[in-house]
Amino acid sequence: MKSAFPGIKRIAYEGPASKNPLAFKHYNPEEIVEGRTMREHLRFAVVYWHTFRGTGSDPFGAATMQRPWDDGTESLKNAKKRVRVAFEFIEKLGAPYYCWHDRDISPEGRNLAESNRNLDAIAKVLKEEQQRTGIKLLWGTANLFSHPRYAHGAATSCNAEVFAHACAQTKKALEVTHKLGGEGYTFWGGREGYQTLLNTDMKREQEHLAAFLRMAVEYKKKIGFRGQFYIEPKPKEPTKHQYDSDSAACLNFLREHGLLPHFKLNIETNHATLAGHTMQHELEVAGAAGALGSIDANTGDELLGWDTDQFPTNIYLTTYTMLSVLKYGGFKSGGVNFDAKVRRESFEPIDLFYAHIGGMDAFARGLKIAAAIRKDGRLDAFVKDRYASWDKGIGAKVESGKASFKSLEEYALKKGNPPKNHSGRQEFLENLINEFI
Ligand code: XLS
Ligand code: NI
Ligand code: NI
């Protein structure tokens, strides 16, 4: 097959002084940071759906993307060709992983059996390309939101027939993920939510969602799939309210249904913004619960209220993200997955390279800056010192469970004077971060 990206060679690390737009300035896969290579820390993944299926269409206009290798049809032949192109791209970029939805790699058939056969045919080509290049599957997932049958949701549909179909589709997607050596599987509740409570039995729908996930856990064990399960929080879009609205809601749901041991979270930057949180907040909530699994690296536009899925280039964002990731011990099964799309106006194939190179460099810088802040130690020391009153005396008594309202009243009465506080020093700390950026 002839090259889809002629003239583009494997993207190399050329260092910060390079002016070559097709080179890494900061992502040096072999460079050691905190005892691990950058490749091992960041575990970059390319998403199949935006990068190879994104057309650039929006509610106001038609497709804009120039993809000369793609004939625009839903044929198996075209789907197979696309796989070769995808692997040429990922290999030239030097990303070690990729991710897919079942229906963006292979066409939906006239019925489930035909869809399954299509998926098997494509999985065969994916396997060949994985073996040829050494590129691995970070996670797979089922698209349970595009087809009209999922208009009312999939696992939370009011229609039990649709629920059954969604389970069958997920079973197959799990098998294919397993067959391709996937290191994880993500559940994003595409349309699992509601548009209006007037027609919705919320409790019943959530119980169905739990039943769906319970069966997935069961089946995972049955087929011996050892990859990590993730839930990806998102508050809205396409529905008015999605049940997996943010990290806290997901954790509560998983705990309520006894599913927490089987899942971690896949946190997406733009979803955090839509939930009215920062990425750092979402990562800290997940991390504190031991559930920080993976990230969908993108960014939203602060002035737009929807999931714009832009490539991340903001160094503060990547620094804060990597500070949290390092704090909770780094990625195990997860990685930095670019769930991001080039703008509609960036329609040439080469823009795909610029976008990913920029995202990878931004994360490499974030990683290096976060490691430098940790090595410096002043930030950590400040936080530790801020809570010093809990390390001894009355604080230690409370933390060890040896205090009561009565004993604390006695203590406070004896102390008499109002307790003395120290400054929170936010501005001082913001300046400290800027020393490293
Ligand atoms: C959509 C989600 C989706 C998941 C995978 O907003 O980010 O792309 O990552 O289903
Ligand atoms: Ni995502
Ligand atoms: Ni998203």
In the predicted model, residues of the chain with pLDDT beneath 70 are none
Q: Is 104 a catalytic residue?
A: yes
- Quote the DSSP letter at residue 232: -
- Which atom of ligand 1 is least distant from the CA of 50? 8
Which ligand number lies closest to the CA of residue 141? Answer: 1
Q: Is 101 a catalytic residue?
A: yes
Q: What is the pLDDT of residue 305?
A: 84
Q: What is the pLDDT of residue 385?
A: 98
Give the Å distance between the CA of 319 and the centre of ligand 1. 23
Give the Å distance between the CA of 368 and the centre of ligand 3. 26
For ligand 1, is residue 141 a contact (CB within 6 Å)?
yes
Give the Å distance between the CA of 339 and the centre of ligand 2. 5
**Cα separation of 295 and 267, whole Å?**
5
Supply the residue whose CA is at minimum distance from atom 4 of ligand 1.
Answer: 188
Q: What digits encode the pLDDT tens for the residues 416-432? A: 988 899 999 999 999 99
Give the Å distance between the CA of 311 and the centre of ligand 2. 12
- Which atom of ligand 1 is least distant from the CA of 307? 6
pTM assigned to the model: 0.97
CA angle 118, 123, 129 (to 5 degrees): 135
Supply the residue whose CA is at minimum distance from atom 6 of ligand 1.
Answer: 307
Q: What digits encode the pLDDT tens for the residues 4-37? A: 999 999 999 999 999 999 999 999 999 999 999 9
Q: What is the pLDDT of residue 302?
A: 84
Reference 129, options 71, 52, 226, 185; nearest CA is 52
Reference 188, options 322, 15, 47; nearest CA is 47
For ligand 1, is residue 186 a contact (CB within 6 Å)?
yes
Q: What is the pLDDT of residue 304?
A: 87
Task: Provide Rg for the chain, Cα atoms.
Answer: 24
Give the Å distance between the CA of 8 and the centre of ligand 1. 29
Q: What is the pLDDT of residue 417?
A: 87
Supply the residue whose CA is at minimum distance from atom 3 of ligand 1.
Answer: 188
Supply the residue whose CA is at minimum distance from atom 10 of ligand 1.
Answer: 188
Q: What is the pLDDT of residue 437?
A: 95
Q: What digits encode the pLDDT tens for the residues 92-133? A: 999 999 999 999 999 999 999 999 999 999 999 999 999 999
For a ligand 1 pocket test, name from 170, 229, 268 the mutation site with the most ligand atoms within 8 angstroms of its C-beta.
Answer: 268
Q: What is the pLDDT of residue 419?
A: 86
Q: What's 341-406 look like in SS3? A: CCCCCCCCHHHHHHHHHHHHHHHHHHHHHHHHHHHHCHHHHHHHHHCHHHCCHHHHHHHCCCCCHH
Supply the residue whose CA is at minimum distance from atom 5 of ligand 1.
Answer: 188
